[in-house]
């Protein structure tokens, strides 16, 4: 039986059961093996019946009585009595009529469940019961609980897994012997069997350590191989023009932060080499990434080379173009800028493409329109990608291929990434932090609000509107849902437009609108033809409205911590005080993450908390890095990450042949395709 085989190769798995597994993304024996448990219930300690206490228990006992009956409203109750040498206990199952026929009187069973009071008498409620054997799967052991789907329970998954235990034990080692010994790791086959069928909690921890190490090792190795491959390419060496940099800084209406100066200097050093730069600049909302990107562009522009800046939305591309145009005007370099976005007229696009192909346009700002086949670059030296995780790898490759050589790459993101996660996710990039806000930028005042306080809140908001400011309102849904109490954008829009703020100009924006409609509404808000914009999270990234001072988030308890931090970064960008009001769905106690937002404006600290509270999925979700999800490794485990990364460096330094390790080769190849460069 090969692990690449279809599930139907397993005894007891027919087409219908295979279809249910398919819903969970499990199509092969390999997929099943890698479907690790979500959690465990420990029933490994067998207790004499006389010594049981309320809570989870396991006993070994003989069934002495069984009966089943229907009671009111069609409910079925199965009752049994189990006895051991010390005493007897009642067992009760609700709506499991098959139990009465399945249990055999006089046979000995392992029985595990919750021992609790029922009708003034204690009983084990809805227990698992298995005939005593050397390999129970649901009782008398540490029991794995899996992600399930309709018609497919953890019990069924365990039964199927038990059928392939001999195959599990034959899985070849996937890491070099020296590495397994050096890191004192459990053998791979033993770890896979133990993660599904742990004998002891200590062995389970050893299995988790092995599989967690392997996950991070594979990711680190893929990233390093990409990095070393990139170092073999040649890029254009861009000279540093100190006079030009000083001239640019001298015309700025503000002072650069120390963080900006350090990051720009690192970028200039990178671009002077013939090895391609591959730098990620992480900057919290409002940390001045656009100025850094413009300063990076200065040097290639001054030497006659082209720079392409790609943004995830047309609106953001237009805003970047406007900002950069103003920044370059004092230097007389603004006429080198061209915009290319999907919403432009055909004639405008043709004119822009012609200017790009001839080299007349040197700084090209656009969206994905930049990677279309019709666009030919003249001599592209630097690519700047804003919110780089919003683009697929193939899109990045297309843009780079237009240069005819490997251009320098500068990626920007406003998503604060904990250092442990950045090292793992972006091991092939050099990461720089913009961890200071420009001087004069006031921290956003954040306040959690109860629905009962809406009238008082509206009065506060009214004062800001009277002062000529504007307000974003963000809702989790577009339309009302029968399953959710959360205020929807359409409902809030009508409420504000007709009642709460009927003296003010209110607009509505959501993802189901056509791109042209969205641009028109957003532009109306930017131009202050609207005072209030009710929206879904489509305004989360990049939108710059300096006059907006209020962010109201409806049903804030339905949003993630990082997401709210991104949203509140949309206000207070014009030097005035910004306010973020977190309106709860109801009057219950606010979750811990919302209280943290009241206390802190530091995106990096909040990202660490988000990682702690929700795990890497919270951050992977925003990055659309699904293929990189870690099942076992915790990205808060700094020591494991450091050890795995060092081991990946050793693997390369020892010139190991990756093809020797089939499973490792396949996984690393897959990861190389979804990390940043390949």
Give counts: helices (H), strands (E), the chain.
24, 20
**What own/partner pairs with CB < 8 Å and gap ≥ 24 does 66-73 have?**
66/99, 66/100, 66/103, 66/105, 67/100, 68/97, 68/99, 68/100
**For residues 285 and 289, what is the distance between their CA atoms, to the nearest angstrom?**
9
11, 440, 522, 570 from 544: Cα distances, Å: 60, 17, 10, 6
**For residues 205 and 147, what is the distance between their CA atoms, to the nearest angstrom?**
20
Q: What is the pLDDT of residue 620?
A: 41
| CATH number attached to the domain at 242-272+288-413 | 3.40.50.300
Q: What are phi and psi of 57, to 5 degrees?
A: -135, 160
Q: What is the pLDDT of residue 592?
A: 83
The phi-psi region of residue 572 (left if phi > 0; otherwise alpha if psi is between -120 and 50; otherwise beta) is left
248, 261, 363, 402, 409 from 305: Cα distances, Å: 18, 23, 9, 13, 14
The alpha carbon torsion through 492, 496, 500, 503 (nearest 10 deg) reads 180
Contact status, residue 164 vs residue 192, Cβ threshold 8 Å: no
* List of the chain residues with pLDDT < 50: 390, 392, 483, 617-627, 677-678
Q: Where are the alpha helices (DSSP H) in 28-97?
A: 29-33
**For residues 437 and 444, what is the distance between their CA atoms, to the nearest angstrom?**
12
Residue 287 CB neighbours (<10 A): 26
80, 205, 284, 364, 464 from 360: Cα distances, Å: 87, 62, 34, 10, 45
> How do the domains of the chain map onto residue ranges?
45-140, 171-235+605-678, 242-272+288-413, 445-600
Contact status, residue 128 vs residue 111, Cβ threshold 8 Å: yes
Q: What is the pLDDT of residue 288?
A: 83
Q: What is the pLDDT of residue 618?
A: 42
Q: What are phi and psi of 81, to 5 degrees?
A: -125, 130
What are 53-95's pLDDT values in tens digits?
999 999 999 999 999 998 877 899 999 999 999 999 999 999 9
**For residues 91 and 122, what is the distance between their CA atoms, to the nearest angstrom?**
9
**For residues 434 and 441, what is the distance between their CA atoms, to the nearest angstrom?**
14
User: Which DSSP string corresponds to 340-378?
Assistant: E-TTS-HHHHHHHHHHHHHTS--EEEESGGGGSTT---S
Q: What is the pLDDT of residue 125?
A: 94
> Sheet containing 579-583: which strands, arranged edge to edge?
445-449, 579-583, 548-553, 470-474, 532-535, 506-509
Nearest to 413 by CA among 316, 319, 282: 282
18, 23, 65, 208, 506 from 36: Cα distances, Å: 18, 16, 37, 10, 49
Contact status, residue 556 vs residue 564, Cβ threshold 8 Å: yes
- Report the sign of the C-alpha dihedral through residues 97, 101, 105, 110, in that order: negative
Write down the residue that tokens 């969970």 correspond to: 24
Nearest to 142 by CA among 31, 37, 34, 32: 37
Q: Where are the alpha helices (DSSP H) in 571-629?
A: 592-599, 603-614, 617-623
Contact status, residue 594 vs residue 618, Cβ threshold 8 Å: no
73, 332, 388, 548, 573 from 551: Cα distances, Å: 51, 37, 25, 8, 12
* Matching CATH number, 45-140, of 1.10.3720.10, 3.40.50.300, 2.40.50.140, 3.40.710.10: 2.40.50.140
User: Which DSSP string corresponds to 529-548?
Assistant: S-SEEEE-GGG-SS---TTE
Nearest to 45 by CA among 55, 35, 36: 55
CA neighbours within 13 Å on the CB side: how many for 619? 30
Nearest to 557 by CA among 583, 525, 575, 596: 583
Contact status, residue 414 vs residue 544, Cβ threshold 8 Å: no
**For residues 144 and 125, what is the distance between their CA atoms, to the nearest angstrom?**
19
SS3 content of the chain, % helix, strand, coil (to 5): 45, 20, 35
**For residues 339 and 484, what is the distance between their CA atoms, to the nearest angstrom?**
42
18, 195, 629, 632, 640 from 214: Cα distances, Å: 28, 14, 13, 9, 10
**Is residue 661 classed as helix, strand or coil in its secondary structure?**
coil
Check for a shared fold between 242-272+288-413 and 445-600.
yes
Residue 134 CB neighbours (<10 A): 4
What's the angle, vertex CA 323, arms to CA 321 and CA 326, rounded to 5? 105
Q: Which residues pair with 534 in a beta bridge?
A: 473, 508
Q: What is the pLDDT of residue 565?
A: 85
Q: What is the pLDDT of residue 371?
A: 76
Contact status, residue 567 vs residue 474, Cβ threshold 8 Å: yes
User: What is the CATH architecture of 445-600?
Assistant: 3-Layer(aba) Sandwich (3.40)
Nearest to 412 by CA among 302, 295, 495, 318: 295
**Is residue 145 classed as helix, strand or coil in its secondary structure?**
strand
- Report the sign of the C-alpha dihedral through residues 236, 241, 244, 247, in that order: positive
What's the angle, vertex CA 11, arms to CA 8 and CA 13, rounded to 5? 45
Nearest to 287 by CA among 313, 256, 329: 256
Q: What is the pLDDT of residue 428?
A: 65
What's the angle, vertex CA 388, arms to CA 373 and CA 219, rounded to 5? 110
């Amino acid at each position: 039986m090969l692990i690449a085989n279809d599930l139907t190769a397993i005894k007891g798995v027919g087409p219908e059961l295979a279809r249910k597994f398919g819903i969970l993304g499990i199509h092969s024996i390999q997929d099943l093996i890698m479907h690790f448990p979500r959690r465990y219930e420990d029933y490994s300690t067998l207790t004499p019946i006389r010594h049981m206490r309320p809570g989870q228990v396991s006993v070994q006992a003989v069934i002495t009585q069984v009966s089943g009956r229907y009671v009111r409203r069609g409910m079925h109750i199965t009752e049994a009595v189990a006895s051991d040498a010390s005493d007897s206990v009642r067992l009760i199952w609700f709506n499991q009529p098959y139990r009465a026929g399945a249990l055999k009187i006089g046979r000995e069973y392992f029985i595990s469940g919750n021992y609790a009071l029922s009708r003034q008498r204690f009983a084990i409620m809805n227990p698992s019961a298995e005939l005593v054997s050397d390999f129970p799967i649901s009782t008398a052991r540490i029991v794995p609980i899996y992600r399930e789907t309709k018609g497919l329970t953890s019990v069924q998954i365990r039964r199927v897994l038990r059928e392939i235990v001999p195959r599990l034990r034959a899985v070849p080692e996937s890491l070099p012997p020296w590495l397994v010994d050096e890191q004192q790791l459990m053998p791979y086959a033993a770890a896979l069997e133990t993660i599904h069928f742990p004998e002891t909690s200590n062995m389970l921890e050893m299995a988790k350590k092995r599989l967690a190490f392997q996950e991070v090792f594979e990711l680190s190795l893929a990233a390093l191989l990409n990095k070393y491959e990139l170092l073999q390419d040649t890029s254009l060496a861009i000279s540093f023009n100190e006079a030009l940099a000083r001239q640019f800084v001298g015309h700025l209406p503000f002072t650069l932060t120390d963080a900006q100066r350090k990051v720009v200097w690192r970028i200039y050093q990178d671009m002077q080499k013939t090895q391609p730069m591959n730098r990620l600049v992480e900057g919290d909302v409002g940390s001045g990434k656009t100025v850094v990107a413009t300063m990076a562009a200065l040097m290639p522009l001054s030497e006659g080379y082209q720079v392409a800046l790609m943004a995830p939305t047309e609106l953001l591309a237009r805003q970047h173009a406007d900002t950069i145009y103003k920044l370059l005007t004092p230097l007389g370099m603004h006429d080198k800028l061209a915009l290319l976005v999907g919403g432009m007229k055909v004639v405008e696009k043709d004119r822009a493409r012609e200017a790009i192909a001839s080299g007349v346009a040197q700084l090209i700002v656009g969206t994905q329109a930049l990677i279309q086949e019709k666009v030919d670059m003249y001599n592209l030296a630097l690519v700047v990608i804003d919110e780089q995780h919003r683009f697929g790898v193939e899109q990045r490759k297309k843009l780079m291929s237009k240069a005819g050589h490997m251009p320098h790459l500068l990626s920007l993101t406003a998503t604060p990434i904990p250092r442990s996660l950045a090292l793992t996710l972006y091991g092939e990039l050099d990461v720089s932090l913009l961890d200071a806000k420009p001087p004069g930028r006031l921290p956003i005042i954040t306040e959690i609000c109860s629905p009962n306080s809406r009238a008082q809140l509206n009065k506060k908001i009214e004062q800001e509107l009277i002062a000529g400011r504007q307000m974003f309102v963000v809702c989790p849904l577009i339309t009302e849902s029968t399953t959710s109490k959360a205020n929807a954008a359409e409902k809030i829009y009508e409420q504000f437009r007709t009642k709460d703020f009927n003296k003010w100009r209110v607009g509505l924006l959501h993802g189901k609108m056509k791109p042209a409609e969205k641009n028109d509404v957003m532009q109306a808000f930017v131009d202050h033809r609207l005072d209030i914009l009710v929206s879904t999270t489509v305004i989360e990234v990049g939108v710059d409205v300096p006059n907006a001072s209020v962010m109201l988030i409806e049903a804030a308890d339905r949003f993630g911590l990082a997401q709210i931090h991104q949203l509140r970064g949309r206000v207070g960008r014009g030097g005035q005080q910004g306010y973020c009001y977190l309106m709860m769905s109801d009057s219950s106690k606010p979750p811990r993450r919302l209280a943290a937002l009241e206390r802190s404006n530091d995106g990096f600290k909040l990202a660490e908390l988000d990682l702690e509270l929700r795990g890497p999925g919270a951050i992977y979700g925003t990055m659309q890095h699904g293929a990189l999800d870690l099942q076992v490794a915790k990205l808060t485990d700094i020591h494991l990450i450091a050890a795995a990364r060092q081991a990946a460096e050793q693997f390369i330094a020892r010139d190991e042949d990756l093809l020797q390790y089939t499973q490792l080769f396949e996984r690393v190849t897959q990861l190389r395709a979804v990390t940043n460069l390949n």
